[in-house]
Structure 1
Amino acid sequence: MGDLKQRHLIVAQERLRDQVAHALRAALVAGELRPGTIYSAPGLAADFGISATPVREAMLDLAREGLVEPVRNKGFRITEVSERDLDQYTELRALIEVPTVGRVTDTASTEQLEALRPVAEEIVDRARAHDLIGYLDADRRFHLRLLGLAGNERLVETVGDLRKRSRLYGLTRLDERGELVSSAQEHVELLDLVLSGDRPAAEACMARHLGHVRSLWARDENG
């Protein structure tokens, strides 16, 4: 029984670590954790109301993703992402996602695509409700599940990593200006075009969406 309890404890700790890592990624994108700033694991743990260990482990996960960097005896510094970095990440995403959406348009079934509609609508609902954490989660699920219909798991992993590395700041101000809803609605438009079987239009919409998101976040970061 002792071994079983130990295994349950390990699983619980791993789940808490994953939950903390997810919350920290969301805080990064929302601009709640600022680039160049050093945060300590005990300080963040106090905010979460938990022990420092799962926070420290979660921060190490983020360090492996390039989102933070350890600072000896101090904590973790949020890595800064330059405009050049963002341009290059967006270019990579476009090179991968635009043709992949085209392939999905040609091959995915109506049933597979319609299964994504609740997620596309959830993105809009979350934006209208000013639920930034929910918005980010739904947006991630929609994009990765849509790309997943192409059947290449490594491609999905790569795009997931690019999304993490190209996190952008000031989503709160975008929401306050009402620009988040229009960006959210592009997911429904994209889904409808893929369902229509119009590959050129779907690819153009995907490219426009990526460019739109990039320009919105750039304006916010500068403004």
Structure 2
Amino acid sequence: MDASQIAQTALYQEVAERLRQRIFSHELPPGARIDEQALTLAYGISRTPLREALKVLAAEGLVILRPRRGCFVTEVSEQDLDDIFPLMAMLEARCALEATSRAQSEDLAGLDAIHARLEHFAASNEIERFFEANQEFHSRIQEMSGNRRLRQVIQDLRKVLKLTRLFSLSIDGRLKQSLAEHRVILAAIKAGDAAGAQTAMHDHILSGREALARCHSNQELLE
């Protein structure tokens, strides 16, 4: 492989990451058609790296390639959420169990520090920053599990969940409920209670699905 081939590979990966962030921020909202010609002009690239990038995003479930129609940002349905959340609950629960079994003192200290930020952001009602710390909390537990393949599957599912326009933490009472659930997970991990951590994480993920369902119901009432 020569230098030009390496550069080409890096290019499509960079394009994929830029589009991924635009999708996650909903700058490219669910259902939106990807204008390939506009993107090639905006990024100053040819169709080849763009199409390679779209294939990557399609493999991640973020876009759908439709023959003769184009490429569209994936729309997440209620059925999709019903399919994904039980899987997430099972997988993240397993991570919590393995993380508890492997946890070292420095791991617990790091998890404690993240949780302290969750407490702070909840007290000041900083929802976006709470969400970011929440993502870090879950990622740290996945790292602690030491199970690389399990972590990759979870990350792929979480990418799809980011497509939903609904934000469960904005539902009245959900922020405090989520914080309380994190306290139970953390307490179980620190106590070395692997089965308890597994159950607490499983219930926490499914609780998030219930909150999203309430969010969707409230949105329908407003519309």
TM-score by length of 1: 0.71
**Offset at residue 65 of structure 1 (A):** 1.3
Tell me which amino acid in the other structure corresponds to 1:204.
T
Partner of 2:89: 94
CA–CA distance in structure 2, aligned partners of residues 124 and 40 of structure 1: 42
> Is residue 122 of structure 2 the alignment partner of residue 135 of structure 1?
no
Tell me which amino acid in the other structure corresponds to 2:90.
L
**Offset at residue 119 of structure 1 (A):** 3.8
**Offset at residue 36 of structure 1 (A):** 3.0
**Offset at residue 76 of structure 1 (A):** 1.9
CA–CA distance in structure 2, aligned partners of residues 171 and 210 of structure 1: 16
For these two proteins, the number of residue pairs brought into alignment is: 212
**Offset at residue 183 of structure 1 (A):** 5.9
**Offset at residue 66 of structure 1 (A):** 1.9
Partner of 2:15: 17
Aligned to 1:213, the other structure's residue is in SS state: helix
8 Å contact kept, 1:45–1:55: yes
Distance change (3 Å), C-alpha of 1:142 and 1:58: farther
CA RMSD of aligned residues (A): 3.7
**Offset at residue 99 of structure 1 (A):** 3.2
Alignment of 1:4-83 (within 5 A): 10=8, 13=11, 16-28=14-26, 33-43=28-38, 50-51=43-44, 57-72=52-67, 75-83=70-78
- Give the counterpart of 1:181 among 170, 175, 181: 175
CA–CA distance in structure 1, aligned partners of residues 53 and 173 of structure 2: 31
**Which portions of structure 1, spanning 4 or more consecutive aligned residues, are displaced by more than 6 angstroms?**
124-127
CA–CA distance in structure 2, aligned partners of residues 210 and 11 of structure 1: 36
Aligned to 2:65, the other structure's residue is in SS state: strand
CA–CA distance in structure 1, aligned partners of residues 115 and 12 of structure 2: 30
Distance change (3 Å), C-alpha of 1:129 and 1:93: same
CA–CA distance in structure 2, aligned partners of residues 214 and 76 of structure 1: 28
Partner of 2:155: 160
Q: Give the percent of matched residue pairs that are identical in Structure 1 and Structure 2.
A: 28
CA–CA distance in structure 1, aligned partners of residues 131 and 185 of structure 2: 17
CA–CA distance in structure 2, aligned partners of residues 52 and 182 of structure 1: 47
Tell me which amino acid in the other structure corresponds to 1:208.
D
Specify every segment of 5 or more residues in structure 1 that has no aligned partner in the other structure, as ranges: none
8 Å contact kept, 2:61–2:74: yes
TM-score by length of 2: 0.71
8 Å contact kept, 1:183–1:213: no
Distance change (3 Å), C-alpha of 1:43 and 1:105: same
